Structure 1
């Protein structure tokens, strides 16, 4: 637990695959991020299409990712990232969550 994100908010192209999928189907990546922190993939993916609700859900999921990974930050910071850089925020969360899955596979 370093207290910081592994990838910067503007590090979208660090994983080109996640980047392309998110820019084409953002609800898919958002749903998968939600699922990784224990929320419903389908419900969160669908919430992404509802104005205002997507901000609440996005802020909540981002906060859960930070909490799980021991990343320093605040709800206001999460909200601003989701509001002004929604795709970058989703990709950053996915990269953080994917890093753990890849490390887990390497350990096995």
Structure 2
């Protein structure tokens, strides 16, 4: 009895091994279909998505760069002295007031001086912002951005929400009131005039 050849055994094992399934890359339209509708998703996007070869979508670029803090100086100064307030404002908008600004600020204050772990919370909410608006994780990953440039990251996230019509400085209730005011104004503008009768 001859011993089976090694190459024959290898061929049999290759044939019986399950082959990994090929996953087709998503096109931009498929990504858009997966986004849930809601007040956070009503923000506009004027930039085209970043697309690699084979129609693989990375996402939209940010409306401002990481180091463009000068574009909104009021927030830059506030964040330089009170980063916890900016973080709390961002959290309140992204969580749709499930976590309020004062509570978010308090968590950031506790984690900042005692544990130096504020970058964990910062990167978590940055990742949430990326998912909501399908943004590119650039120029660095969320963790690196918040670990090495926490103030610039907070300012960029604040500007991104503001540029999309959700000003974190207003708070969630202020944003809702602003939206309702716009809808009321649009209804008033679109109401046709009452029937008028001409008399001689």
TM-score normalised to the size of structure 2? 0.48
3-state SS in 2 of match to 1:101: coil
> RMSD across aligned C-alpha pairs, in angstroms?
2.3
| Structure 1 unmatched ranges of 5 or more | none
Aligned with residue 118 of structure 2, among 54, 64, 67: 54
Mapped to 2, the partners of 1:44 and 1:20 lie a distance apart of 19
Aligned with residue 128 of structure 2, among 64, 74, 81: 64
| Structure 2 unmatched ranges of 5 or more | 1-44, 50-59, 168-174, 183-200
- Which residue number in structure 2 is paired with residue 18 of structure 1? 75
More helix by share: 1
Aligned with residue 155 of structure 2, among 86, 91, 94: 91
The answer as to 2:99 corresponding to 1:35 is: no
How far the C-alpha of 1:26 sits from its partner, in A, is 0.8
Q: Which has the higher contact order (CA 8 A, sep 6+)?
A: 1
The answer as to 2:8 corresponding to 1:8 is: no
Aligned residues: 105
Larger radius of gyration between Structure 1 and Structure 2: 2
TM-score normalised to the size of structure 1? 0.84
